[in-house]
Structure 1
Amino acid sequence: MRELRPNTYSLWLEHDVLRIILSRLTLKEAVRMSILSRRWRCLWKCYPKLVFTRATMRGSNAVVGRRKPLRTRFIRGINSILRQLRSTNLNKFVVKFALRKRHTSHIDRWIKFSATSKTKHVVMDLSPGLKGSSKRDDMYSFPLHLFSGSSGSCVRSLSLAFVYLTLPPDLHGFANLKKLSLHMVTITGELQCLFPECAVLEWLSITKCRMVGLSIGQELSRLQYLCVKICSLQKLDIRAPNLTTLVFADLMVPIMLHEPLKISEATVSLFSASDCFNYVCTDVVNALSHVQSLSIYFQINTKVQGFVKNPTRLTNLRHLTLEINIAGGPEAAGGVLRLAYLLELAPLLEDLVIHMCCFASATHIWEPSVDPSPLPPYNHLKTIRMTGFYGLNCQLELAHHLLRNTASLERMIIDPVVGNNSFIPSLKAAERYMRDGRALAFAKLWRKGFDGVLTIL
């Protein structure tokens, strides 16, 4: 191999250092640096990170004039910049602005530039603002075909928001895709058509998308993170043996994860105005029997309702957080006391947090049950925290049951302040409810001999 002459080597080194410096600048700063020398004047045209948002495109006013509408300035600003750039290997291409179907010709041109430049990280977020229109029939249709073949194999992460996505059965591309995010995307065709090409997918988020169900027959062997929120699914069926984190927020639908033995953390939020306890004790427990840390948001009624006992156990569960909306009359307690059975399914549970949101005030006088519950003690439970404690019969009964049946309890905290993110009453009513809850906790629990481990805030 021929040895480089000193001057050639120094020029190569200088060029390499300049590209490193360039990658640490914003596009606006890189353009300004182009006036320093002839080398910089050409170098900025190979800028590796193109991020077009309201914030980054403010400087485009000087190009198209200040009297043009913001959307026009944004589009023309991007077109002006892309005309001056060279199609080269891009690290990132980001467009975040509320654009619609009528802007298809411009967006197509940008995406074609991104595909030709073999971009690694692509973000196309056309979500409307707080006051913008969210009519789905005015969505832009994302051209997946532009990323077929070698163009798609360069993409490592893809994030789409507020677009149409048509998935043909013969799709070819995204062989190296590791991260996929879909938000407010209307999907036509089977989503699983995308995944045969995504063998190395590690991170998947699908939120507020229109789709019948998420059923993927192929095994996603490298998938570690899965988030599915507000998609009105009929079923969640996915094979991901190495899944470690699940975030699910939807209706009470069948969840089939096919033995995710490595899952360590899960968050489940159930949107239903009815009692969800049976679903939690069956579908959720069956799907997440290996989880170590679990958070569940659901509604429960104060009145006793029959439920089927589940032989499945949460054998690895150590940390459990329950965010519950308590509905029903304040005099009933049996419905909420069913939570004690849920704890029985987690024999190694160590930390319990219960955030409660009540829709009634404490109006009845409660006395502890004379006959203790036959449930076995919770031998490993060490810390308990209950928030939103208004002193309802069901809350007092549950707290008393836990204090009485927890053999290794080190500390139990009762906090009248609502820690749930659901409905909160008016400030005046909340102050009264919290005052009553605090007084009842002192009167009914503190004086029963539990002051050694009990803390009332």
Structure 2
Amino acid sequence: MRRTIPDLPEDLWRHIHSLMPMRGAARAACLSRAFLQFWRCYPKLTLTKYALGSELKGNTSRRINCIIRNHSGVGVKILRLGAYEISRRYFDSWLQFAVRNSIRDLEIVNCAFRPTTEVLGPFRSLANLLLHYVHITSDELECLLSNSHALEKLDLFYCNEIRFLKIPCELQQLSCLSIEACRRL
């Protein structure tokens, strides 16, 4: 006897797929054309060495770049990036991917982040920003914050290049600021 997938509406399948952990959603996409379409709109991309585990043998930047290229960018609400040896040219394109797609949550861990207005443009929908073990200067952080008008929560942890913190007056929504172990601040 052959099992078949129930005939459910596409939006319900898309919702079910979005609730799956990222690794399971990616594996389902490898098995089914329908799930491949859903993968291209998967809302929570966690692209860290720990999340991807054994898949990250070799060049981390190239692997993560391949995953981002295979995603349409539509529907991404959360983007988590973290790896020790991220190439600068990849990182800038990943951030433009985030800006282009109205990202709400951005988490950057264990890398250097050198934002400029020319590269980034505005983060119109960014509500939560988490920077852990990130090399970013005070001026670079100020540039990022001044282009993130919807920011509600800022979390800085071990960002030791930050010497001072200027919160732009445009950040009317900012209600939670967490700073820990930023030794030079």
Partner of 1:39: 34
Whether 1:206 aligns to 2:179 is yes
Contact residue 115 and residue 144 of structure 2 kept, 8 A: no
**Structure 1: which 5+ runs fail to align?**
1-10, 128-139, 212-230, 232-457
Match of 2:15 among 20, 28, 36: 20
Q: 1:169 to 1:88 in 2, by over 3 A?
A: closer
Counting aligned pairs with the same residue, the percent is: 24
Q: 1:78 to 1:170 in 2, by over 3 A?
A: closer
Partner of 2:83: 97
Contact residue 116 and residue 143 of structure 2 kept, 8 A: no
Match of 1:116 among 100, 116, 125: 100
Partner of 1:125: 109
Partner of 2:162: 187
CA apart distance, 1:19: 2.0
SS class of match (1:181): strand
Q: Structure 2 matches for 1:307-456, cutoff 5 A? A: none
Partner of 2:3: none
CA apart distance, 1:147: 4.5
Partner of 1:220: none
CA apart distance, 1:35: 4.7
Contact residue 17 and residue 35 of structure 2 kept, 8 A: no
Partner of 1:164: 136
Give the Cα–Cα distance (whole angstroms) in 1 for the partners of residues 100 and 15 of structure 2.
22
Superposed CA deviations along residues 322-373 of structure 1, whole A, max 9, x for unmatched, are xxxxxxxxxxxxxxxxxxxxxxxxxxxxxxxxxxxxxxxxxxxxxxxxxxxx
Give the Cα–Cα distance (whole angstroms) in 1 for the partners of residues 144 and 25 of structure 2.
41
Aligned length: 174
Alignment RMSD: 2.7
Contact residue 148 and residue 174 of structure 1 kept, 8 A: no
Give the Cα–Cα distance (whole angstroms) in 2 for the partners of residues 91 and 16 of structure 1.
17
Give the Cα–Cα distance (whole angstroms) in 2 for the partners of residues 86 and 51 of structure 1.
15
What code does the residue aligned with 1:76 have? R
Partner of 2:45: 50
Partner of 2:4: none
What code does the residue aligned with 2:162 have? I
CA apart distance, 1:75: 1.9
- What's the TM-score once normalised by structure 2's chain length? 0.79
Give the Cα–Cα distance (whole angstroms) in 2 for the partners of residues 48 and 170 of structure 1.
23
SS class of match (1:87): coil
Superposed CA deviations along residues 209-266 of structure 1, whole A, max 9, x for unmatched, are 255xxxxxxxxxxxxxxxxxxx4xxxxxxxxxxxxxxxxxxxxxxxxxxxxxxxxxxx
Superposed CA deviations along residues 390-434 of structure 1, whole A, max 9, x for unmatched, are xxxxxxxxxxxxxxxxxxxxxxxxxxxxxxxxxxxxxxxxxxxxx
Superposed CA deviations along residues 414-455 of structure 1, whole A, max 9, x for unmatched, are xxxxxxxxxxxxxxxxxxxxxxxxxxxxxxxxxxxxxxxxxx
SS class of match (1:200): coil
CA apart distance, 1:27: 2.2
Greater Cα radius of gyration, structure 1 or 2? 1
Contact residue 148 and residue 172 of structure 1 kept, 8 A: no
CA apart distance, 1:113: 1.3
Q: 1:170 to 1:89 in 2, by over 3 A?
A: closer
Give the Cα–Cα distance (whole angstroms) in 1 for the partners of residues 99 and 51 of structure 2.
22
Partner of 1:83: 69
SS class of match (1:55): helix
Contact residue 104 and residue 125 of structure 2 kept, 8 A: yes
Give the Cα–Cα distance (whole angstroms) in 1 for the partners of residues 49 and 89 of structure 2.
20
Give the Cα–Cα distance (whole angstroms) in 1 for the partners of residues 70 and 155 of structure 2.
30
- What's the TM-score once normalised by structure 1's chain length? 0.35
**Structure 2: which 5+ runs fail to align?**
1-6
Higher normalized helix content (fraction of residues): 2
